[in-house]
C-alpha cells in the first residue's frame, strides 16, 4: 500500500472501527499525523500570536483523533486482538505492547474481524495494486 492510498483509505474509513488494517496503512497514517502536526505547529508559530495557544495544532489533533483511533483498532483486529487494547496507551507501560503489536504481521487469511486485507482479490489489495501500477 502506498502512502497516498493508505491516507485515503483511513479517511474513507474515518470512523469505522470494524475490519482490518495492514501494517502499511497504520504506519503511513502515523507518518501523516506527524507531518500534519509539524505543519500545524509551523502555521501556529508563523500565523498566530504567541498568546493564541496553538489553536491550529489543537484543531488538527482533534480532527485526526477519531480516524487514528479507528485505524488503530483495525490494526489490532489484523493481529486478532480487540480494539479495546488501545486503552493500554493510558498507562505508560502499555505503550510497549501496543508498539510491538503494531509491528507484527497480521494473521494470514480471514479471522473473526474480517478477511485478510493483503490477500489477493481483497478490495484493499486491489486498491493498492491499482495504485502501484499507475
The b-or-e profile of 102-130 (16+ CB within 10 A means b, else e) is: beeebeeeebebebbbbeeebebbebbee
Residues 6+ apart with CB under 8 A from 22: 1, 78, 106, 117, 118, 124
Query: For the chain, what is the domain count?
Result: 1
Decide: helix, strand or coil at residue 73: helix
Residues of the chain with pLDDT under 70: 49-54, 120-134
Domain that holds residue 59: 3-133
Question: What pLDDT shows up at residue 47?
Answer: 80
- pTM of the entire predicted model: 0.81
As a dihedral over the C-alpha atoms of residue 99, residue 100, residue 103, residue 107, rounded to 10 degrees, the angle is -130
Predicted confidence at residue 130, as pLDDT, reads: 47
Amino acid at each position: 500500500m502506498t502512502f497516498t492510498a493508505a491516507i485515503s483509505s483511513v479517511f474513507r474509513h474515518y470512523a469505522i472501527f470494524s475490519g482490518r488494517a495492514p501494517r502499511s496503512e497504520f504506519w503511513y497514517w502515523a507518518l501523516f499525523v506527524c507531518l500534519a502536526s509539524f505543519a500545524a505547529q509551523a502555521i501556529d508559530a508563523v500565523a498566530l500570536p504567541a498568546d493564541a495557544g496553538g489553536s491550529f495544532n489543537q484543531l488538527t489533533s482533534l480532527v485526526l483523533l477519531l480516524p487514528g483511533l479507528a485505524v488503530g483498532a483495525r490494526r489490532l483486529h489484523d493481529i486478532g486482538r480487540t480494539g479495546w487494547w488501545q486503552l493500554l496507551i493510558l498507562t505508560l507501560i502499555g505503550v510497549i505492547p501496543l508498539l510491538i503489536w503494531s509491528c507484527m504481521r497480521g494473521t494470514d487469511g480471514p479471522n473473526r474481524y474480517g478477511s485478510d486485507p493483503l490477500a489477493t482479490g481483497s478490495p484493499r489489495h486491489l486498491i493498492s495494486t491499482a495504485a502501484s501500477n499507475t
